[in-house]
Amino acid sequence: MGRIVDFHAVSTDGLEASPYAEALAGLRANEARYFSTHYGHAFEVESADEAPEIVEWVARLLRHERDLEIQATPLEVAHFVVDGIDWTHVFYDNGVAVNVLYTLAPGGKRAVGFKLADGVPVPGELEERFKFARQRSRLAGTIRGSFFVIRGDYDVVAARPAEGRTPQ
């Protein structure tokens, strides 16, 4: 059963196993505010244990695209389709959030983003491979982020359509 992330009252619920729980909660709330503002969508998360197919799909995509494996425990996931884009997020106990933007229409934008919560060191598996830009967030402090474009085609995990705006 999923839980809507409240970006007005930032909570560490579901992230307590992380030594960066407060910073990761701010990062998750920042994502929730983004989707509320841009898509009119409530950002819903569930325990990674309840959605192993989502965690595995992201892991498989990272392996195939960049021979990369995140060396951390996934805590929560979010997965939905809004405006014709399949969005997948995995929040890890080391303070890293991985998000996959996968436009369902052929030829659309497809990318993987990495975000690091405030104060989180860059994990070794990402350190030499990606440069991280900084942005300020009222909810998350300083967010460092990087991304890469997805080159291959992947069958996405079935997601329920988002409430709010109709997918195009």
> What is the DSSP secondary-structure string of 56-104?
HHHHHHHHHHHS----S-EEEEEEEEETTEEEEEEEETTSEEEEEEEES
Determine the structural domain holding residue 25 and report its residue range: 3-149
Place of tokens 């934008």: 109
Domain membership flag for residue 155: no
Name the 3-class secondary structure at 145: strand
Q: What is the pTM of this model?
A: 0.89
Q: pLDDT tens, 31-69?
A: 999 999 999 999 999 999 999 999 999 999 999 999 999
Q: What is the largest CA-CA distance in the chain?
A: 40
Banded model confidence at residue 161, pLDDT cuts 50, 70, 90: very low
Residue 125 confidence (pLDDT)? 94
Residue 166 confidence (pLDDT)? 32
Number of domains the chain contains: 1
Domain membership flag for residue 158: no
Q: How far is CA 72 from the centre of its chain?
A: 14
Joined together, the tokens standing for residue 52 give 């192993």
Domain membership flag for residue 157: no
Domain membership flag for residue 168: no
144 touches 115 (CB < 8 A): yes
Residue 141 confidence (pLDDT)? 67
Domain membership flag for residue 77: yes
Domain membership flag for residue 164: no
Domain membership flag for residue 103: yes
Residue 159 confidence (pLDDT)? 53
Q: pLDDT tens, 93-147?
A: 999 999 999 999 988 999 999 999 878 999 999 999 999 987 777 766 678 899 9
Domain membership flag for residue 53: yes
